[in-house]
A and B are shown apart, each in its own frame.
Chain A
Amino acid sequence: MSHSESLSAIGRRLLDRRRFLGTAGLSTTGLALASLLQADGLLADDARTVGGKAPIRPDVNPDRPYAPRNPHFEMPARQVLVIYCPGAVSHVDTFDHKPELTRLHGKKPPGLPAVTFEGPSGNIAKPFWEFRPQGESGKMVSDLLPHLGQQVDDFCFLHALTTDTSAHPQGENFMNTGFTMEGFPSFGAWVTYALGTENQELPAFVAINDPRGLARSGKNNFGNGFLPAAFQGTDFNAKNPPNNLNRPGSLTSAADRRTVELLQRLNARHLERFPGDADLAGRIASYELAGKMQTSVPDVMDLAGESKSTLEAYGVEGGSELRGSYARNCILARRLLEKGVRVVQLFNGSDPAGGNGITNWDSHANIAKTHAMQAEIMDQPTAALLADMKERGLMDNTLVVWATEFGRMPFLQANGTGRDHNPGAFTCFLTGAGVKRAFSYGESDEFGFKSVVDKTTVYDFNATILHLMGLDHERLTYYHNGLERRLTNVHGHVVHDVLA
């Protein structure tokens, strides 16, 4: 059997392309083959996804892994902001209005479970905050989130979400990577793998972590899983730059510059011995990009040029210290999006050890206090960020996803003052490019206990946000260990009703 016979059609095409490029004198001959062959699949002829569709493999050039690439189909959104609230935001205390809870407050109607995640359950509890109609649409939103409430006319709520787990880390994994287990590529990694990025001087995918630290699933929420490391989220926020970004303190800039110059000469000389080797050329290019990032990242992190009114609107001053830090992260998010960063993932909460007192939205006890503290941090800065983006026209090409891992129970925990985890119903919202405005999709039951109308799985949710980015969730695949892996595993349907 000759070598080419063992190749798939795609593999043969790839080799032909290389041959063409190679003879055309471009530096793509000795490509980073291990990864390319994997990406392009030296696979059997019938490479296809479980759903039976042919994969669309992004044409990743290892010289420039971040070069912008076309989506599968045209959609308005070119970039995406994910605002992730770890710990599980109580839908029945925020956006999912359930008058029945007030009526049955203190009672225990039949049919509700005796044991939930943390143990025995107690009685129905009415929302801890008043609901009132907001915006022209009159959407009912609680007083917990007054600033976001004012913008409901721009939002598209999904009220009938369900997830597969009632544990936080698995829930975070599921929302952010499509699998409850660890080690799978995150949404941001998939999108940058598919689309590259517009700005070659900033990372393609930035994970702005909460001032209190990483969420419970840590790096897994923005990791590359088995995709090449090039597609992992770069972790920095308004306070802490990326790891090792800055020139070491012991070096003058002249000394640093001269080292880089020497390195360039050494590499150029070495390259003469391996003419046209793209692996080597690619590595040289990565040093140039790193050098550019050393200027562009501090620039984008520098909020000194932001107007006083902007700082005020975001709530940088005048609130809790945590709100101030989160507000700065929100401004950073906008600045990154303005510069064309493809994916920005903004966290509002950390693991439970991340700070003093309140660390995330997990409110098993004293929800009245803990949700209020968390809302104080999240509400105004997030609302200001969305308003600012709208004003600057960013919403025309940016999809915004506001998400959490599950909801909370309509009843209290036994003898308790908080609500336990509810995987059966929760609410997230979308806004921005390509999304229907002032719209609510799906319904939970009269208690907000289970999703009943237009039930939406996490797979559906992820399929939909990929679709909004112009990507077919069934065709965006990566061969790993015997399978064409997808963000949505073998499930998921796009919720067409939420598309504008």
Chain B
Amino acid sequence: MVQFSWKVLIIGCVVSVVWSPAQGEDIDFERDIAPILEENCWYCHGADEQESGLRLDFRPRLLRGGDSGQPAVVPGEPDKSYLVEVINHVDPDMAMPPEQDKLPPEHIALLTEWIRQGAEWPGQMDAVDEITSDHWAFQPVDRPKVPQSAVSHPVDAFLQQQLNARGLTFSETADARTLIRRASIVLTGLAPTPAQTDAFVTASEQDADAAYSELVERLLASPHFGERWAQHWLDVIRWAETNGSEANLYRKNAWIYRDYVVRAFNEDKPYDRFLQEQIAGDSLGSGEATGFLVAGPHVPAATVGREPSAIRQARADRMDEVIQTVGASVMGLTMGCARCHNHKFDPVTIQDYYAMTGVFDDVEFGSRFPEFSKEHPRRQRGDAIWAEIASHRQQLKQMGGWEENWGAYRELHFAPVTTTAVRIRFKMPNVGLDELEIFGPADRRQNLAAADFGTQLTGFPELGVDGRFPIERLQDGEFGTMTWRAQFGKESKDRAWVELTFPSAVSIDRLRMSSNREYFYDTDYLSKKPFLPRYEFDMDVPDDDGEWKPWVGTWYVNRKLAEKHADRKTHLQAIAAAIAALSEEGPRRSFVGRFGKAGMARVLHRGSPENPRDEAVPAGPAILEGELGLTSQTSGARRRLQFARWISSADNPLTARVMANRLWHHVFGQGLVTTTSDFGKAGALPTHPQLLDWLAAELITPTFRAGDAWSMKDTIRLLVMSRAFRQSSAPVERGLVADASSALLWRFPPKRVEAEVIRDSILQASGCLDTTIGGRSYRIHNEKKTYAQWQVVDNFGPSTWRRMLYQERMRRVDDRMFTAFDFPDCGQVRARRPVSTTPLQALNLMNSDFVMDQSGRIAQRARQAAGDDPSAAVDECFRILLCRLPDESERTQCVELAQTFDLSLVCRALINSNEFAFLP
């Protein structure tokens, strides 16, 4: 390299003085170009140093560009070559060589001309620059051999190898009471009941292995298993039932996604299928699963403001939330860095990032009717109700028009007419509409009023009130606060009107209007309900001479026809009832994302939507061989489906590793890779790389025991059946000295339990816990004004006595109880919860209404079981809360407190005890 450089440098010095190029003259790389690069560029962007990730001594790297992701050179196109922009000092912040070292004009001209002529670089024209990495996580999963060992369980064999190397051994097996408590909490999130504990202790005395194995099977089969593991998954993707941001609006029916996750774990849905459904459930008959894609926060349009650049930025931010969700949860990669420049640590480029935005380009935050398989009960019920509606409509048709109230909109049905235009004249001074749709018999779903359809729209007032509510919004396909509004004074005779001209004559028979359909569909629990005003209007169509003639109107339909046909009423009532039934029992619009039309994604230079550059073809990251055979014309659903298949493939080196590690993390409290959502270079290395790979291989194809591919339950079973899981958590000095973190698992690492376990266990102890699985979340908050904060109104009453998984998950709202226990605020991806200890936790657990109320109930329950004997009542409290009996001194102290004051104080103390709060 050095020799080569010297040679060209000498030649360069000689010629550059005498030679000044003109366009069209032949450029010789070694004579004209290499000297300029050598002298000015290679010191910082050469073989040794690559500032900003840019290398200018290797043609493929010029084509690829540096961290910015912009190709430095596009052969033949100087205008598109970032290098040309930079050497011309277009942007003072990105000017090279900097300031006074700017190249002389003739050198700039040479480089520009060289690029224009194709950037010929002798010897490097066929060179390829493959993105490669020797980082462990990007290497294929190759099943390692289980080490030879005296222990039969493969997990233990791997662990023991490292323990031995450090002169450590596993601890003794934990006692039966500890074991059942640990296994119950880890697998189901609920502490065992006293009866379960006693039975297990007795059974263990007979045959410890058989009893434990039976226990594990019972817990894995429990419907509470899915609840516990759903909680972990929801944490990872920061799923919540509000938008976050200012209004922090509630997301209507978003919880059906939570139920999907619970069901998936309970039914042991294979992990590959689980992923596919969450990414492309709309194509797979499980539409509710796509709640995954919109799990993150978003800022709704109403609070983004009206500057077009702010609107574009908000859209880019929403896409980023989608990419973060997929990247962190499934791929274990922090894709976010590549939004503005190539990733600093990992081989993820800015092209990769925007290729992924291409995959998800049709995703928007909002609600839709989830696609259900034909067998889905909601779909079947919905079909039946629809059939009912259709039969009533058939009857009504024979009597002329009618109006239906669908909550989100009103729909006027009328006798079909074929026309090239319609005019709607409103009869009242105030009108506010977000959308106006017209349908015909030909295609029941085609909105003939849409701008996309080619329909022209005019009207009055064209710009709306204050010039701020333009009429185009009636046909832009967007629902919500972006409305057309007319407002006239009491005295004014002016009235609003709308005129639509279709691209050609169409047959029409339905008119649909709404004022804020987004609020109706997407949100709930606002003190001010979305209001659907009843507008009186007439609709005209032109006659053969082009004169407007009335065709139908609200007065005619609702009054005149009603007078004429008395029996209309029965059908209208039946339809109203059917609409109500449909919204409760049929498929409901739910906040699981909506899908628009996928377009072409572009690389946004430095992450700015104001600076779109090259097309980004939908694909996964190149380092993972993410080429999907898609184009920017492929439909959105297909893009996501292809991506879902690719990401869930057994060949993907990250997918199985990341999930196997997550399962490990939730069983042992700390992953083999402690940075569970970052398997990149900045993340931690695995403590047991071989074990991790073996587990990943086992997840994909089980060999240790017959089982199903990608079974999460089988993998969890494998882990909890290990000796490592069953050993005592007691500290051992040797272990502490050699491995303070217990990462090598010489003991089971104890840990404070999560907020959910504390709350659920208290409710279970008092006998209050309603164990119903799934359904609408319980509320602890008020109904609020749109721009107010949520207030906690009741976080302890009977309506809240369900598992905390079902407490409405609100972004950044303090529940005045468990937020202090590291319950996530659901703002950023939370791969693992920190475990902190604060005085606020103590105050909440000592003094809250919840704990006071529950302590009283637990005491009452204990008294009922124990009769009048105070000592027996104390014993019962210990059994209920700690699954053991008090020792002599504990009993004496507790009886004394109960007799001096009240038994509920004993319960209050036990709830606060370390024994209750720690996973043993």
Query: Which chain A residues have a beta carbon within 8 Å of chain B's beta carbons?
Result: 1-3, 6, 15, 18-19, 22-23, 29-35, 37-38, 42-44, 46-47, 50, 62, 65, 115-120, 165-170, 181-184, 203, 213-214, 216-220, 223, 225-230, 232, 234-235, 242-248, 250-252, 254-255, 258-260, 262-263, 265-267, 269-271, 273-277, 279-280, 282-287, 289-290, 293-294, 351-354, 414-415, 421, 479-484
Contact = CB atoms under 8 A, between A and B. Distances in A.
Interface string B729-751: 11100001101111110000111
Contacts of A18: 740
Given A43-B675, A482-B677, A183 B787 contact: no
A47 B344 CA distance: 12
B246 A216 contact: yes
B913 A351 contact: no
Interface in B801-830: 811-814, 816-817, 819-822, 825-830
B873 interface: no
Nearest to B163: A3
Nearest to A235: B814
Given A3-B166, A220-B825, A259-B905, A43 B838 contact: no
B736 A29 contact: yes
A167 B740 contact: no
B376 interface: no
A391 B832 CA distance: 47
Interface in B666-712: 669-670, 674-675, 677-678, 680-687, 689
A187 B683 CA distance: 25
B825 A38 contact: no
A480 to B, nearest CB: 8
Contacts of A286: 837-839, 841-842
B614 interface: no
Q: Which of B828, B840, B902 has the most CB of A within 10 A?
A: B840
24 contacts: A32-B835, A32-B837, A43-B683, A117-B306, A120-B467, A217-B812, A218-B812, A220-B825, A225-B828, A229-B834, A232-B820, A242-B843, A244-B840, A244-B844, A248-B849, A255-B902, A283-B837, A283-B917, A284-B914, A286-B837, A286-B842, A290-B840, A290-B842, A353-B787
A37 B834 contact: no
Nearest to A252: B901
A228 B836 contact: yes
Contacts of B674: 37-38, 42
Given A118-B306, A259-B908, A274-B730, A34 B743 contact: no
Contacts of B822: 228-229
Nearest 7 interchain pairs by C-beta: A183-B827, A353-B788, A482-B334, A183-B828, A482-B678, A228-B836, A290-B842
Contacts of B889: 269
A170 B819 CA distance: 22
B736 A30 contact: yes
Contact of B814 (A3, A219, A262, A280): A219
Contacts of B686: 6
B466 A263 contact: no
Given A2-B165, A229-B841, 17 more contacts: A3-B744, A18-B740, A43-B684, A65-B836, A181-B828, A182-B828, A183-B238, A259-B909, A262-B906, A265-B890, A276-B736, A280-B918, A284-B914, A287-B912, A353-B788, A414-B466, A482-B337
Given A266-B915, A353-B787, A29 B740 contact: yes
Q: Which of A2, A217, A226 has the most CB of B within 10 A?
A: A226
Contacts, number: 329
A77 B450 CA distance: 62
Nearest to B344: A50
Interface of B: 162, 165-166, 238, 244-246, 248, 297, 299, 303-308, 310, 317, 328, 333-334, 337, 344-345, 466-468, 669-670, 674-675, 677-678, 680-687, 689, 729-731, 736-737, 739-744, 749-752, 784-789, 811-814, 816-817, 819-822, 825-832, 834-844, 846-849, 852, 887, 889-890, 893-894, 897, 900-902, 905-906, 908-910, 912-915, 917-918
A235 B812 CA distance: 14
Contacts of A120: 467-468
B740 A15 contact: yes
B731 A274 contact: yes
Given A22-B737, A229-B820, A245 B912 contact: no
Contacts of A23: 737
A18 B737 CA distance: 8
Nearest to A28: B740
B371 to A, nearest CB: 30
B918 A279 contact: yes
Given A247-B847, A266-B890, A353-B788, A219 B839 contact: no
A44 B901 CA distance: 56
A352 B913 CA distance: 42
A32 B846 CA distance: 22
A480 B328 CA distance: 12
Contacts of B849: 248
Contacts of B730: 273-274
Contacts of B787: 216, 351-353
Given A169-B303, A226-B828, A1 B682 contact: no
Contacts of B344: 50
A481 B238 CA distance: 13
Given A182-B244, A283-B914, A243 B816 contact: yes
Contacts of B887: 269
Nearest to B856: A250
B46 to A, nearest CB: 19
A181 B317 contact: yes
Contacts of A31: 740
A170 B778 CA distance: 29
Contacts of B684: 6, 42-44
Contacts of A117: 305-307, 310
Given A38-B674, A182-B827, A244 B843 contact: yes
Contacts of B829: 481
Contact of B840 (A228, A242, A259): A242
Q: Which of B165, B305, B817 has the most CB of A within 10 A?
A: B305
